[in-house]
Amino acid sequence: MAVGIFDSGLGGLTVWAKVQERLPDVDFVYLADSAHAPYGVRKPDDIYELTCAAVQRLFDAGCDLVVLACNTASAAALRRMQETWVPRDKRVLGVFVPLIEAMTERQWGDNSPPREVAVNHVALFATPATVSSRAFQRELSFRAIGVDVEAQACGGVVDAIEEGDMILAEALVRSHVDALKRKMPEPDAAILGCTHYPLLQEAFQAALGPQVQVFSQAELVAESLADYLERRPEMIGKGEAAFLTTGDPARVSDRATQFLRRQITFTAA
């Protein structure tokens, strides 16, 4: 039984790489909806429909568990999917849970009242759709009080990464950090709220300063998923991975190989 990993593009490969490193015997099917990327500038209904179609493709490929390794899909579609669409014998997980667990130092099943946590001023860097959804603030408010979250929509960053233009991506990061600091001069922590952004973690850290704790979703999601899968031995396979794309397989394979600096070959979804 394979685990499905979905992203609108290549950002979810940062999650796949970390999980595969931790759980080398688990089989994975990765799906990039490259034909419709980026999701971060789309309307919620559009994101929901595209995400459902992609997850159904992974269900059809034999995946009973699918991870939305895409903050935009997690923010704009996951709750609605879980409430109205996901079959009872399937599971779809998002990327917010491990992040909030790490920030609040409490497990997801802990339903005690919200309490004060170690950080008070948090910078959230994400796509425009994730920012407008306010999903992170909503979930955080169930578990923590006294946390001021300032969100910065990082337009253009995902596009630059997908095009392989890391010089432009780093310049955009500096610009977005400067804009955030005008609203919140001294954040305690920063959230890289897109699975593409770990590739630019050093650029974010340099622009924010060494005193700011930067939370990397790829590592947190990988740790959480690894913990989940280690308690389910039926998920152990042969360590195989398949990569699907709705875009041009040759072009996406080339970008993915540059992205991870290892050979990744995509086929048509």
For 220, the token pair is 């947190």
Question: What does the alpha-carbon distance between residue 163 and residue 32 come to, in Å, rounded to a whole number?
Answer: 15
- What pLDDT is recorded for position 108? 58
- What pLDDT is recorded for position 177? 98
Q: How many CB atoms lie within 10 A of CB 97?
A: 17
Q: How large is the average pLDDT for residues 180-198?
A: 94
Question: What does the alpha-carbon distance between residue 66 and residue 57 come to, in Å, rounded to a whole number?
Answer: 11
Q: Following CA atoms 68, 107, 2, 191 in sequence, which dihedral angle do they give, to the nearest 10 degrees?
A: 30
- What pLDDT is recorded for position 123? 97
CA angle 186/112/189 to nearest 5° reads 15
- What pLDDT is recorded for position 109? 65
What confidence tens digit (pLDDT) does each residue in 20-36 have?
998 899 999 999 999 99
* Residue 222 pLDDT grade (very low, low, confident, very high; cuts 50, 70, 90): confident
DSSP 25-81: TB-EEEEE-GGG---TTS-HHHHHHHHHHHHHHHHHTTEEEEEE--HHHHHHTHHHH
Q: What percent of the chain is predicted at pLDDT more than 90?
A: 71
Which of 52, 63, 70, 154 is labelled catalytic? 70
Question: What does the alpha-carbon distance between residue 207 and residue 209 come to, in Å, rounded to a whole number?
Answer: 6
> Under a CB-based contact definition with an 8 Å cutoff, are residues 158 and 195 in contact?
no
* Burial of 231 (C-beta count, 10 Å sphere; 0-12/13-18/19+): exposed
For this structure, is 194 an active site residue? yes
Residues in contact with 225: Cβ distance below 8 Å, sequence separation at least 6, in sequence order: 3, 15, 19, 23, 67, 93, 98
Q: How large is the average pLDDT for residues 135-142?
A: 89
Rg (CA), the chain: 18
Q: Which domains does the chain have, with CATH numbers?
A: 2-94+219-268 (3.40.50.1860), 97-216 (3.40.50.1860)
For this structure, is 70 an active site residue? yes
What confidence tens digit (pLDDT) does each residue in 223-263 have?
888 888 878 877 878 999 999 999 999 999 999 998 898 99
Q: How large is the average pLDDT for residues 89-106?
A: 87
Which of 52, 63, 154, 194 is labelled catalytic? 194
- What pLDDT is recorded for position 208? 98
Q: Of 192, 247, 266, 224, whose CA–CA distance to 38 is shortest?
A: 247
Mean pLDDT taken over the chain: 92
What confidence tens digit (pLDDT) does each residue in 100-114 have?
888 888 775 677 888
* Residue 66 pLDDT grade (very low, low, confident, very high; cuts 50, 70, 90): very high
Q: Minimum mean pLDDT among 49-53, 54-58, 145-149: which range?
A: 145-149
Q: Which residue has the higher pLDDT, 112 or 69?
A: 69
Q: What percent of the chain is predicted at pLDDT more than 70?
A: 99
